Amino acid sequence: MAEPMGFFTDTSVCIGCKACETACKAWNQLPAKEGGHPPMSGDSYDNTVRLSGEDWRHVKFIEQFSEDRSAGRWLMMSDVCKHCVNAPCLEVCPTGAIIRTEFDTVVIQTDACNGCRLCITACPFGVIDVNPVSKTAEKCTLCYDRLQVGMQPACAQACPTASIQFGPIAQLKATATARLSQLQAQGEKQASLYGADDKMLGGLNSFYLLLDEPGVYGLPVDPKMPTRNLFWGSVSSVAAAVVLGVVGLFGFRERRAVDESDADA
Amino acid sequence: MSLTRREFLQATLAGGGTALGSLIGLGVSLAPAIARAQTLRIANARVTPSVCPYCSVGCATLVHTIGGEIVNIEGDPRSPLSEGTLCPKGAAIYQLHKNPNRATRVLHRAPGAATWKEVDAEWALDRVAALFKKTRDESFVERFADGTVANHTTAIFSLGGAILDNEWNHLQQKLMRGLGVVAIENQARI
Amino acid sequence: MAECHPVAFRWVMKAKLKGAKIIHADPRFTRTTAMADVYAPLRAGSDIAFLGGLIRYVLHDERWKSDSFFQDYLVNYTNASTLVDPGFQDTEDLDGEFSGLMDYTGGKPEWPLNGFIGEYERASWGYQREGTAPGKPASGDTTTAFDALIRGLSQSPVRKDPTLEDPRCVFQIVKRHFDRYTPAMVADVTGCAVDTFVKVAQTVLSNSGRDRTTAWAYAVGWTQHTYGPQMIGCCALLQLLLGNIGRPGGGVIALRGHVSIQGSTDIPTLYDNIHGYMVAPSTLKSHATLRDYLKAEAKPTGAWSDMPKFMVSYLKSMYGDAATAANDFGYGWHPRIAGDHSHLPMFVAMAEGRVKGMICVGQNPATSVNASLERTGLRKLEWLVVKDNFLTETATYWNRAPEIANGSIAPADIATEVFFFPSAQVAETEGSFTNTQRLLQWHFKAAQPPADCRSDLWFTYQLGVRLKRLYAGSTETRDEGFQRLTWNFDPDDPATAVVGEPDPRKLLREINGYHSASPLRHLEAASELRDDGSTTCASWIYCGVFPAPDRNLAARKTPDQKGVTGAHLEWGWAWPANRRVLYNRASADLQGKPWSERKRWVWWDGGKWAGHDVPDFPRHKSPDAPADPRASGTDALSGSSPFTLKADGVGWLFVPEGLVDGPLPTHYEPAESPVRNPLYARQTSPVLKYWKREDNLLAAPGDPRFPHVITTYRLTEHYVGGGMSRWSPWLSALQPELFIEMSPELADAHGIVNTGWVRISTPRGSIRAKALVTRRLRPFRIAGKVVHQVGMPWHWGWEGVVTGDVVNNLTALVGDPNVSIHEAKAFVCNVEKG
């Protein structure tokens, strides 16, 4: 295997511009959420709300102000698939559609996905969902196609402030540690790294520098592998996998038909 | 001007820094057991340098075309201004070009009409030229009442320019001033 | 800056990681504030009080008073020591007015739309001069046709006091002017707490000097006020005091809003300028002949003494061979303006029925300032051409505007003939844009535009071709100029061209300039320009961008090597002369040595000026060369006069000419304000522009019906009126709906909840938006009372993937007297649930 590659997202320099969200859509030709007109969420400047099958990058906004504004900050964080070293989605996938690549990243091969949704349930970060156009489970591929020819992932290239950094994991960890020390020296006592060591699912190949507790950013403090039932149900029982797969496919076909009739109307 | 794919990759890599530099050699050490060859959708694209048309920073872009069709637009890592980065608007330039909502026909609305009608571009240009001449001829002032030379019309207004090329701004102001149109404005004041 | 110029903010963040301090002064806590070390919340429109407070703080600072860097820069590179006319009286003397205020009586009866309510007689704002004018030089004064004219403009030398002690010197006047702008007063006017203000002042001071520079960046938050240019001038004054102009990492940086808005100012599709910042010939000035024009506008000293060369070469670009010395180079054919033909008065003129036809290319007035009034204007047109990328609100004002949708006006009642021409997009055309750093960058054509979509050049060129044909047979005198106008930009090789498209390189050649006798011999520098007709050049400041037919320097794409200090001089081309930092002679001391190694940029190497940048100074003029009062042009200036565009070669703290509303910035309230001016009896600028109409009323100061301050702005995710971004589903999903940002304190008082509907009203209009209730906005305490402030992005309209009410239905046609910019950053409103 080649050197593991991934993302280090330094939220302390994220300006919440959403270039990453858009560059991801442009490169991967993903549809806009709800055709481009979801309702305004009212949750600060976030209107795409969560990661999904069509939003593979998502920028979170957290407003923290005291009543008299003597203390106040606006945290921003570009979230993405964590490309876990021990990836629950990969473990539960019954068809082998989810693979670990030569870059140690986790990729769903959509042509092999039967739409069973197990990976969606298994992911402790809520990363994966069904793309309403392709009708298959989708998420960040860490721009697998670009990596193979030596290009950066689209989001990291677009990011104006280098909040999203791409590179060899070992090098990113060194960068992250140095940045953490710098921030702590400047008095950012709450700053911490999330997923940079191997304690969390064997390590996250997309890890973060946070300025507050993980829960503030909607990240699980202690993400776990899926429950044993689900895990064994998917990997040890071929029959179960086939059944689930068929149900999944059937379910999608039905929805696709509905969509098409809508489109004709 | 356009780049070969090789030049483009070199440019990309140069902008990517050491992280990408170390990737160059990976092509020979890929682990075939788990690697699945991906098709880069711009692999055979022609690359043309362009500039983002939104704000005034002037971020450089690269436009990928296949068979004359735009397939991708992204930041140009060579630019010392933007180093390949873009904002969300810049990252969405593709949708300025490839967009089913795009207006692509010359339209005409007759006085009082409630709807548009598609018209021939040549006809529309001839009609605009005729209306322009009529208004100019009816409103041209050679001298004011006090004898001051004016040589102008204030009955025609030219608006726009700040999102357009320098060459257009030159051509438009030349045509307007040449005809005596003095009310020429763009967003630089608004 | 992070909000509207995120990629420029990349460099701010890089600096921050290296230890730079970021200060953000803004009414709202924005994405920029989120990255700032110091946040100074200010009431919208109060920035001159804030900047004035900083100026006062600097003038009282012990380090500033004793540091030789600050004092050398002040005495030698600014007009601090120049004495001002004894008749000058300050706003401190006259409680908010300068000497010379009178009722407005100017203008021509043919154009009564200038909007002035008062004007200044400005003679008393000038410099004091020695008694006698310099004599004519003994010899060598007839090198060019206009040489004697320029020399005849010479004035006697200005009087100076290098000790800065004379009470009439600029320094003492500035000191007195800002003496009441104390931290407490700043807090009272702006709402910014005293300790925050002091922290800003100390941070700016400690980051200015020999080894460090402070840069100020601004956008339309500073310009869109009835005193906008004064706001910028106030910052320039502060930066000159701190020695932060002409040096790397310094400056007053305009973050302009459109891709080539700098280019469209340089190459002005603006009524009041012609190419290269020459004023448009005017019926209101002594501009009857070319010589009259030059006498009125050229300067005897500094770079503007070459104006005859610029002007004659420009006229040659208009009329070609027909422009000769015998006919004043065609000056007589050139149109003259009649007064203010800018955006605001033109829409008043339109609403009055004075305007019959309009060509609108890439702009969207149907959602612009006091948009209801602008649409009233559009309905009065006989014909309208809209050329744009998408169907804008301006293209559909006659069938889809709110007043049509609600039935109050029927399309049948609108007699306008409307044309829509679809435009090619950026990657479907080629040409140059000039960015906010004066950098020209060429974009190449990647694909053909679809269907009827054509370049904007095509439209204007083809319209010109048709009009040329229509006027070809005319024998009217007034058509002579247009008949002589040169109009041939066809590509040399028609086989490679799209039918009817002109060659953009031929246009760039005309902008750059060439030898009149042989157009393929391009000009290489503005120094080659002549005033005898032998050179043709539309824009003297762009001369050099295209020095040879095969050398389009705007198309260069070679950045500097990594790790090498430089200015990327081979990436694009910056005007003038590919110079990246203007007035960069000021980056060196009086002897021509860099002020410090850390801030090395341009220096005297013993025989010439050298550096990382193209030096902005006569190349071989030694730093110790004395001023020559008998010479003209830059020869008259000393070797330590960095500001060569100024006739006196120094930076102006006090502006003796060029501004119509005062030589110094003064705090006035916006045209609409909830409070009385705490500093002066004068509430607002006595010379602001206002066009009074029933559909353009203003709220009186403190009007209880409109108690809140409102400001309008852009978001990262959208662009201006949304005419480009709201058609993109990707961008639309990021910010799908119009909202109003307000504090929980204000929301609670009105029973408004987050995402609930709000009605917003001003004397001009009323709209609805969803509430975004956030503590990023806060109530201010101003002049003893609590003032709430709300903010609205103005990106929406009725066309596009996402739609919303037009925020500019709320704004007013009220503007600044220098440039007629409107005031959309600070006005008043009411909010109600609903």
Chains near A with 3+ CB pairs less than 8 A apart are B, C
Instruction: For residue B65, give the nearest of C8, C440, C446 by CB distance.
Output: C446
pLDDT digits over C15-46, tens only? 999 999 999 999 999 999 999 999 999 999 99
Q: How far is CA C570 from CA C557, C578, C621, in A?
A: 7, 9, 26
pLDDT value at B26 more than 70: no
CA distance C25 to C200: 9
CA distance C12 to chain A (A): 9
Instruction: For residue C363, give the nearest of B144, B181, B187 by CB distance.
Output: B187
Residue ranges per structural domain of chain C = 145-160+259-435+438-579, 689-833
Q: Do C729 and A31 touch (CB under 8 A)?
A: yes
Assembly ipTM: 0.97
pLDDT at A227: 62
In terms of Cα–Cα distance, which of C510, C584, C544 is closest to C245?
A: C584
User: In this structure, what are the phi and psi dihedrals at residue C760, rounded to the nearest 5 degrees?
Assistant: -115, 130
Could you tell me which residue, A135 or C25, shows the higher pLDDT? Answer: C25
Residues 25-64 of B with CB under 8 A from C: 46, 48-61, 63
Q: Do A75 and C733 touch (CB under 8 A)?
A: no
Domains, in order of start, for chain B: 5-97 (2.20.25.90), 107-185 (no CATH)
User: In this structure, what are the phi and psi dihedrals at residue C344, rounded to the nearest 5 degrees?
Assistant: -65, -55
Band of pLDDT at residue C322, cut at 50, 70 and 90: very high
Query: How many CB pairs lie under 8 A apart between chains B and C?
Result: 476
CA distance A17 to A77: 10
Query: How many CB pairs lie under 8 A apart between chains A and B?
Result: 111
Band of pLDDT at residue A240, cut at 50, 70 and 90: very low
CA distance C166 to C83: 8
CA distance C133 to C157: 7
Residues above pLDDT 90, as percent of chain C: 94
CA distance A256 to C346: 54
Chains near B with 3+ CB pairs less than 8 A apart are A, C
pLDDT digits over C397-454, tens only? 999 999 999 999 999 999 999 999 999 999 999 999 999 999 999 999 999 999 999 9
Instruction: Report residue C80 as tokens.
Output: 């601090």
Start-to-end C-alpha separation, chain B? 35
CA distance C427 to C11: 27
Band of pLDDT at residue C487, cut at 50, 70 and 90: very high
Band of pLDDT at residue C54, cut at 50, 70 and 90: very high
pLDDT digits over C239-281, tens only? 999 999 999 999 999 999 999 999 999 999 999 999 999 999 9
The amino acid present at C473, given as its one-letter code, is: G
pLDDT at B10: 45
Q: Do C9 and A160 touch (CB under 8 A)?
A: yes
Residues 698-737 of C with CB under 8 A from A: 715-717, 728-737
Instruction: For residue C10, give the nearest of A16, A38, A161 by CB distance.
Output: A161
Q: Is the peptide bond before C576 cis (omega within 30 degrees of 0)?
A: yes
Residues above pLDDT 70, as percent of chain A: 85
DSSP C422-480: EBP-GGGS-EEEE-TTSEEEEE---SPPPTT-B-HHHHHHHHHHHHHHHHTT---GGGH
Chains near C with 3+ CB pairs less than 8 A apart are A, B
Give the CATH number of domain C145-160+259-435+438-579; options: 2.60.98, 1.20.1530, 3.40.50, 3.30.70: 3.40.50
Average pLDDT for residues A89-114, to the nearest whole number? Answer: 95
Burial of residue B181 (CB within 10 Å: 0-12, 13-18, 19+) is buried
Average pLDDT for residues C555-575, to the nearest whole number? Answer: 95
- The mean of the pLDDT values for chain C is 96
Residues 739-768 of C with CB under 8 A from A: 739, 754-755
Q: Do B169 and C5 touch (CB under 8 A)?
A: no
Average pLDDT for residues C624-630, to the nearest whole number? Answer: 90
Give the lowest-confidence range in A82-96, C30-44, C110-124, C140-154: C140-154
Instruction: Report residue B136 as tokens.
Output: 């100019």
Beta strands in B3-122 (DSSP E): 46-51, 60-66, 69-75, 107-109, 117-118
Count CB neighbours of C247 within 10 A: 28
Band of pLDDT at residue A1, cut at 50, 70 and 90: low
User: Sign of dihedral through CA atoms C377, C378, C383, C385?
Assistant: positive
pLDDT at B37: 84
Beta strands in A24-136 (DSSP E): 58-65, 72-79, 98-100, 106-108, 129-130
pLDDT value at A246 more than 60: no
Q: How far is CA B146 from CA B143, C283, C317, C796, in A?
A: 8, 10, 31, 46
- The mean of the pLDDT values for chain B is 86
Average pLDDT for residues B100-128, to the nearest whole number? Answer: 97
The amino acid present at C105, given as its one-letter code, is: T
Q: What share of residues in chain B are helix, strand, coil (percent, to 5)?
A: 30, 25, 45
pLDDT at A230: 52
pLDDT digits over A167-221, tens only? 999 999 999 999 999 999 999 999 999 999 999 999 999 999 999 999 999 999 9
Fold match between C145-160+259-435+438-579 and C689-833?
Answer: no
pTM score of the predicted model: 0.94
CA distance C432 to C442: 4
Q: What three-state secondary structure class fits C581? A: coil
Q: Do A40 and C755 touch (CB under 8 A)?
A: yes
Average pLDDT for residues B76-105, to the nearest whole number? Answer: 97
Instruction: For residue C412, give the nearest of B99, B114, B145 by CB distance.
Output: B114
Q: Do C754 and A36 touch (CB under 8 A)?
A: no
Instruction: For residue C34, give the nearest of A34, A38, A73 by CB distance.
Output: A73
pLDDT digits over C325-378, tens only? 999 999 999 999 999 999 999 999 999 999 999 999 999 999 999 999 999 999
Give the lowest-confidence range in C138-147, C158-167, C446-455, C529-538: C138-147
The CATH code of the domain at C689-833 is 2.40.40.20
Q: What share of residues in chain C are helix, strand, coil (percent, to 5)?
A: 30, 15, 55
CA distance A56 to chain B (A): 15
Band of pLDDT at residue C133, cut at 50, 70 and 90: low
Q: Is C427 on the interface with A (CB under 8 A)?
A: no
Residues 782-821 of C with CB under 8 A from A: 801-802
pLDDT at B14: 40
Give the lowest-confidence range in A206-215, C286-295, C562-571, C747-756: C562-571
CA distance B175 to chain A (A): 39
pLDDT at A238: 38
User: What are the chain C neighbours of A42 within 8 Å (beta carbons)?
Assistant: 754-755, 770, 772
Average pLDDT for residues A51-69, to the nearest whole number? Answer: 97
pLDDT at B5: 45
